[in-house]
Amino acid sequence: MADAAGRLPDNIVYFGRALRRAGVPVGTAQILEALRAVQLVGFTKRQDFHTTLRAMIVTRPEHLLIFDQVFAMFWRDPDFLENMITNLLPVITAPSVEKPMKPAQNRAAEAMAAGGGKPRDLPPQELLELDAQFSHSDVEKLMQKDFEAMNATEIRQAEQAMADKTSEFEYSRAAGQLAEAAAQLRTLRQIREKLGK
Amino acid sequence: MQNLPQSIDATTALLACEGYVADRALSTLTFLSLTLNRPIFLEGEAGVGKTELAKVIAKGLGRDLIRLQCYEGLDASSSVYEWNFAGQMLAMRNGAEQGDIYSEKYLIKRALLQAVEPHPSGPPVLLIDEIDRTDAPFEAFLLEALSDFQVTVPELGVIKAPEPPIVILTSNRTREVHDALKRRCLYHWVDYPGFEREMEILRARLPEVNADLSREVVAFIQKLREEELFKRPGLAETLDWAKCLVALDVVALSPDVITDTIGAVLKYQDDIAKITGGPATRILEQIRQDMQAL
């Protein structure tokens, strides 16, 4: 329990970064005060925690939906990082172009996948599960050296494309690419670490 | 003077004592505001109970309520203080010294100055209502006033609140209030209540309305909010309408009753013309069917 309390500040800071990536402007002062509010009040209910953070951070009704989405993904219990890798990837890659009606959800998903939140360390058993999802040849392919470089280039391209928001279509495609690449990259690193390379 | 509530549940109970049915989020917000000394910023459609919250908190805690109603052109002098110029002129005629003229005797205290003065019943509740009606300069002024809770009267010096007042700002969102101000507050978007909560509120506020009529009124209003209207009816309209119906000894809604009393619910001629007659009857039939299905 003490460990969980110790991680709370980190988690809130990462949460703030995830929100910022999703397009909700969050100042450092707000994050600090949100942390203070949460610690001072001391919660037992998830809903109260949600209300407190929202009241301290959101200032516009149009940001409420994005906040709720990011919150749902970020504080999803208990293994949110694993969930993110396995669940979010399909959500944001394939249908991101055809789903313009849910921009808040997309942006939230992108923000999470783009590395907004990564405060937790994966325990070994989660790595094993991750590993089990790849066939041997997959792992071999992933181990090839230029794959990561290629991914980094992809990320750069995607980021450039995102900076140029002239058309809605380009933007959502680039955002999808970026999210996909970032998530792949992270999975790769974990597999490498696990194999001791 | 009553002590501040020590938990979210206690806050809910406090608000409920005064007939205000708060959802969990609003109780949490109120509790936080009281604990952290942070202003509450309530935004939402007209008539959803924003102003009411301030009144209820003041009443529940036994504090004074100071209300600053905003309007276009409101400036610092009419919100903080003014000198009683006519009184000063008269005093000078009677040979008063300059020092006497600028004394509290001739100071007209406005809302913000009143709010920072010591109150025997504890820090007051300061309600800054409809802030979206003011202009940007006044917002900037408020920003300063709310961060220090002190007011400067050049002739008298600085007046600082011994304890910060409980501040509640409301906005109907006719324009966007600057983020800098909102960031210093606990922001909350107040939505129309759902069926259950609206029933609860109606029960709490108007216990004399019988249950069947309440159910019909709330169901009708809830359906009405789904229609394409210029001004959708708020909670205030629900309560007004229920009061009207009780005064008219109505026991159940009928198309005629609705036509006669729709003015309590819809405030624009276009909306009234749109709903009266066919659509009202259709909604009424629909809610009757829904109720039978239950």
Q: Establish, for the pair of chains A and B, how many residue pairs have beta carbons separated by less than 8 Å.
A: 44
Dump pLDDT digits (tens) for B18-68: 889 888 899 999 999 998 889 999 999 888 889 999 999 999 999 999 999
B24 vs A41: CB contact, 8 Å cut-off? no
List per-residue pLDDT tens for chain B, 294 residues long. Answer: 578 888 888 999 999 988 898 888 999 999 999 988 899 999 998 888 899 999 999 999 999 999 999 999 898 888 999 899 998 889 888 887 777 788 888 899 999 999 998 899 999 999 999 999 998 889 888 888 888 888 888 888 888 888 899 999 999 988 888 888 888 899 999 989 989 999 999 998 899 888 889 999 999 999 999 888 898 999 999 999 999 999 999 888 888 899 889 999 999 998 898 888 888 888 988 888 888 887
- In this prediction, residue A95 carries a pLDDT of 38
Distance from C-alpha of B134 to C-alpha of B146, rounded to nearest angstrom: 16
Among the listed residues B8, B23, B14, the one whose alpha carbon sits nearest the alpha carbon of residue B200: B23
SS3 B190: strand
CA atoms within 13 A on the CB side of B198: 26
**What is the reported pLDDT for A155?**
57
Could you tell me which of B276, B193, B281 has the C-alpha nearest to residue B237? Answer: B193
Q: Closest approach of chain A CAs to the CA of B234, in angstroms?
A: 18
Note the ipTM here: 0.80
β-strand B166-171 against B40-44: which pairing, if any? Answer: parallel
Q: What is the pLDDT of residue B92?
A: 86
CA of B183 to nearest chain A CA: how many angstroms apart? Answer: 6
Q: Which residues of B touch A (CB under 8 A)?
A: 8, 24-25, 28-29, 31-32, 35-36, 41, 43, 173, 176, 179, 182-183, 186-189
Model confidence at A158, in pLDDT bands (50, 70, 90)? low
| A10 Cβ under 8 Å from any chain B Cβ | no
Query: In this predicted model, what pLDDT tens digit does every residue of A53-88 receive, in sequence order?
Result: 999 999 888 889 889 888 888 877 545 544 444 444
Tokens 């991680």 identify what position? A7
Are B32 and A52 an interchain contact pair (Cβ–Cβ within 8 Å)?
yes
Helical (H) or strand (E) element with B157: strand B157-160
Q: Give the separation between CA B146 and CA B167, rounded to whole angstroms.
A: 8
Q: What is the DSSP string of A96-157?
A: GTT-TT-HHHHHHHHHIIIII---PPPPHHHHHHHHHTS-HHHHHHHHSHHHHHHHHHHHHH
State the pLDDT at residue A117. 45
pLDDT value at A122 more than 70: no
Nearest-by-Cβ selection for A51 from B29, B41, B183: B29
Our CA angle for A85, A91, A92, nearest 5°, is 90
Q: Could you give the CA distance from residue B104 to residue B164 in angstroms, rounded to a whole number?
A: 22
* Side-chain half-sphere CA neighbours of A43 within 13 A: 18
Q: Residues A165-193: pLDDT tens digits? A: 444 445 555 566 666 666 666 676 677 67
Q: What is the sign, positive or negative, of the torsion defined by CA atoms of A133, A139, A142, A143?
A: positive
Distance, in Å, from the CA atom of B71 to the CA atom of B167, rounded to the nearest integer, reads 18
User: How far is CA B221 from its chain centroid?
Assistant: 21
Show residues of chain B in contact with A52, CB under 8 Å. Answer: 28, 32
- Cis-peptide, bond into residue A95, ω within 30° of zero: no
pLDDT given at position B51: 92
Q: Does A42 touch chain B (CB under 8 A)?
A: no
Cβ atoms of residues B185 and B196 within 8 Å: no
Task: Output the pLDDT for position B13.
Answer: 92
**In the structure, what pLDDT confidence band is assigned to residue A96 with cuts at 50, 70 and 90?**
very low
Touching check for A59 and chain B: CB below 8 Å?
yes
Residue among B8, B32, B176 minimizing CB distance to A55: B32
| Predicted local confidence at residue B289, as pLDDT | 87
pLDDT at A138 over 60: no
- Measured between beta carbons, the chain A residues lying within 8 angstroms of B176 are 60
pTM, two decimals, is 0.71
